[in-house]
Amino acid sequence: MKPIQVGLLGIGTVGSGTFNVLQRNQEEIRRRAGRGIEITMVADLNVERAREIVGDGVDVVADARQVIANPAIDIVIELIGGYGIARALVLEAIAAGKHVVTANKALLAVHGTEIFAAAREKGVIVAFEAAVAGGIPIIKALREGLTANSIQWVAGIINGTTNFILSEMRDKGLDFDVVLKEAQRLGYAEADPTFDIEGVDAAHKATLMSAIAFGVPVQFDKAHVEGITRLSAVDIRYAEQLGYRIKLLGIAKRQAAGIELRVHPTLVPSKRLIANVEGAMNAVMVQGDAVGTTLYYGKGAGSEPTASAVIADLVDITRLHTADPDHRVPHLAFQPDELHTTPILPIEQVRTAFYLRLRVADQKGVLSAITSILATSDISIDAVLQRESNDGEHQTDVIILTHETQEGVMRAALAQMQALETVLAPIVSLRKEELA
């Protein structure tokens, strides 16, 4: 059978990895897919560099639209990134009847509803395994492997840059700014790391996972997003003393009133496997009613790990290339007319436990005043730790772990505590998840 022909838009880190892995493992891939898969056309602004990577036999052009216009191309891989030209090219490829493979989580998190609708209209596939957690096949697990389950929650370390920074802060006792510079020097963080350190990248990925897990449209604009820029080494140390580690988690959770969709630094019990995921690695936990808790771990970025996911999508499309579109696995796991408009809960309605650190005057009655406010707010205390502050005499750090309460209730209590004259600095508040 004639090999399926693929056009590649962008041959940077992931694009070159995709080309190399496809070349290296072509016979194994052909045996799995049932026919050969060949990248026969590449579009990249740096034409000379692209030609050095792909060699002879591949048509290299500067204009991506030439790839889309080529009638011989069956599948278009979009690895340009971003929301702008990538969106236009993906929609043009779909309109031309091409299947699309993309690693662009930002594009799908923001414009996924439009893109998936266009793909359904044209009877083509948009595959995006590489958009979440790199080489970890979490999209396939949620769409297919766990399809018998009612998914209750998903929680993941889905940004390697922030996990590397948090691991270094814990291991070396350094503050965020110092570790960020080191991460940039080592190539773990971009020159402009905003999307990573402010939690936006993780929120893009959590949005896609929530849509697949719960059968709802992608709703990135309703996600609650916090990054790690305000984290202090002292809180990482105190959390450790209490038996927890701090991780930036993307969380999607089903509740009776709606769906929680949030990204923020989170205290996780040290005994959980996910709490021990270090460096730039990724991990995702999924809780299903039938299977219980499952954990998926691996490299969340990099040339060949991400290429592994891209090529898995190519193989899936090749297998289904001639199949009736109505009998393919739906883009978001559920049949399009079965997607629910379940609301995304505002953060004020979310219930979590909390870690609080208060810098207070070291005098009688301070702890009593604080605990009185919590008691009046019906917030139950799980543990209290008191440590002498290094920032001056007659000051102490009071660390409190609470049981679950509603976010809005905690915010009101924090405002009351902050107003106390004996509270000497802004209160640090972090959420805590047992992930049991």
* Backbone dihedral region for residue 304 (phi beyond 0: left; psi -120 to 50: alpha; all else: beta): alpha
- Tokens coding 401: 């772990």
Residue 407 phi, psi dihedral angles, 5° rounding? -55, -45
One-letter identity of residue 83: Y
CB atoms within 10 A of CB 150: 12
**Strand pairing of 428-432 and 258-269?**
parallel
From the list 394, 368, 392, 391, the residue with the least C-alpha distance to 381 is: 368
- Using CA atoms, how far apart are residues 215 and 233, in angstroms rounded to an integer? 39
List, as one string, the DSSP characters of 353-417: EEEEEEEEESSTTHHHHHHHHHHHTTPPEEEEEEEE-SSSTTEEEEEEEE--EEHHHHHHHHHHH
Contact between 139 and 208 (Cβ < 8 Å): yes
Active-site annotation, residues? 205
Contact between 107 and 83 (Cβ < 8 Å): yes
Please list, in sequence order, all residues whose beta carbon lies within 8 angstroms of the beta carbon of residue 264, skipping any fewer than 6 positions away. 199, 224, 225, 226, 248, 249, 430, 431
One-letter identity of residue 229: T
**Strand pairing of 126-127 and 99-102?**
parallel
From the list 126, 147, 135, 309, the residue with the least C-alpha distance to 213 is: 147
- Using CA atoms, how far apart are residues 435 and 245, in angstroms rounded to an integer? 13
In DSSP terms, 254 is beta-bridged to 259
Give the C-alpha distances (Å, rounded to integers) separating 338 from 121, 206, 222, 330: 16, 21, 21, 11
